[in-house]
A = this chain, B = another copy of it.
Amino acid sequence: MSGLVPATVRIIGTGLIGGSLGMALGAAGADVQVQDISPGTTALAVELGVGRVPAPGDPDPELVIVAAPPDAAAQLIAEALRTWPNALVTDAASVKGIVLDGVARAVDPEMLTRYIGAHPMAGREISGVIAARGDLFRGRPFVVVPHATTDPEAVALLQGIATAIGSVPVVLPAAEHDTAVAHVSHVPQVLSSLLATTLLDPDERALALAGQGLRDTTRIADSDPRLWVEILGANAAAVTAVLEGVRERMDDVLAALATMPGDPDPAVGSRRALAELISDGNRGVRRIPGKHGGASDAFATVTVLVPDRPGELGRLFTEMGEIGVNLEDFRLEHNYGRQVGLGHLSVDASREELLTRELSARGWTVAES
């Protein structure tokens, strides 16, 4: 090993993920050997700078990365463990429990200590090595997935590799990983696809009313059926658990809607069920970590009317200082046809209420959020 990355890395499967890992590891100083089931893909990977074709007499790889779909990964990992008796073997499949089970069935317990799972999380709208790029994983989570008998040094080694290629290492056991990706990726995919299927019915005049909300919620519905059949099938239990909760709550929503409208006095419970759906959703979405790297909850935006007169902005900042609230970020919005602007003040969320109250008391007009 030189620095954080092993001296010699073998990448098996040079698609988008394998190709990008090769580029990133090569840039970090590793000698990258590549192989793919398709000779044409291997040749293209070499041409694109992913790595080189292994030659007779090459040293054995210190690390083998199997970058193949979940249904093919276990077999390739088992072969690699047998072929290179001193190598650490990892993989990049997006579901980990099924891969670990497959490897554990295929090799003896001694060999299994040299296997550690990984899931470098990234993707883009085009696939294949042609879309590979060395910065694909930059700033993205790199999940390191040890099992009960994984060599403890392997965890540190993969964390170092993740850091070397600019991604953020996160250590999770396979079951926790699979539940996590069911929540943040697989169930969102199912719901986005379900929503998009409802767009097959309406006529074009209806679809002409589509706005950004529909575009955002259905963007990921334009994804590869073959890939997603594998992923959903491989993580069926975790996806089912989350999805059944969604179905249960959807039944509550449908029951609430059944008492409305027309009914001038719908059951109080119906209005409450709908309000709780939306407000629980508010709380859920605010738990997603934000750009600041912490929870997006950590920052709040207070929007204030700023008259278009000299000195008003200075007065705003001075009074914020007097109130004792730090400004994390600021954006001034100038509106078409108006004599005023909107100042969007980003502040620590715990200070939002204080700032809103104090600015209002000092005569500023603060927007309802």
Residues of A at the B interface (CB closer than 8 Å) are 23-24, 26-27, 44, 48-49, 98, 121, 123, 126-128, 130-131, 133-135, 140-141, 143, 170, 172, 176, 179-181, 183-185, 187-202, 204-211, 213-226, 228-229, 232-237, 239-240, 242-247, 249-251, 253-254, 257-258, 260-262, 266, 270-271, 274-289, 295, 303, 305, 335-340, 342, 365-369
Contacts and interface: CB of A to CB of B under 8 A. Distances in A.
B236 A260 contact: yes
A289 B23 contact: no
Most B C-beta atoms less than 10 A away, residue of A98, A247, A342: A247
Which 8 A/B pairs are nearest by Cβ-Cβ distance? Answer: A193-B281, A180-B206, A134-B337, A199-B284, A196-B284, A196-B281, A221-B281, A225-B278
B195 A187 contact: yes
B228 A274 contact: yes
Given A194-B249, A250-B246, A170 B337 contact: no
Contacts of A245: 198, 201
B185 A205 contact: no
A128 B277 contact: no
B244 A247 contact: no
A251 B247 CA distance: 8
* Interface of chain A: mostly helix, strand, loop or mixed: helix
A104 to B, nearest CB: 14
A218 B271 contact: no
A239 B271 CA distance: 15
B205 A282 contact: no
A285 to B, nearest CB: 4
Nearest to A95: B261
Contacts of A249: 194, 197
Contact of A214 (B185, B195, B226): B185
B253 A190 contact: yes
B281 A194 contact: yes
B23 A193 contact: no
Given A187-B198, A202-B183, A303-B131, A257 B285 contact: no
Contacts of A23: 337-338
Contacts of A123: 211
Contacts of A180: 202, 205-207, 209
B214 A367 contact: no
Contacts of A127: 367-369
A367 B128 contact: yes
Given A191-B194, A192-B217, A176 B206 contact: yes
A48 B336 CA distance: 12
Given A131-B342, A183-B207, A199-B284, 10 more contacts: A48-B339, A123-B211, A133-B336, A183-B199, A195-B284, A215-B288, A216-B219, A221-B281, A223-B278, A232-B257
B228 A220 contact: no
A183 to B, nearest CB: 5
Given A246-B194, A279-B225, A133 B335 contact: yes
Contacts of A211: 121, 123, 140, 184-185
Contacts of A98: 261-262
A26 B337 CA distance: 10
Given A23-B337, A219-B285, A289-B210, A258 B240 contact: yes
Nearest to A183: B202
Contacts of A24: 337
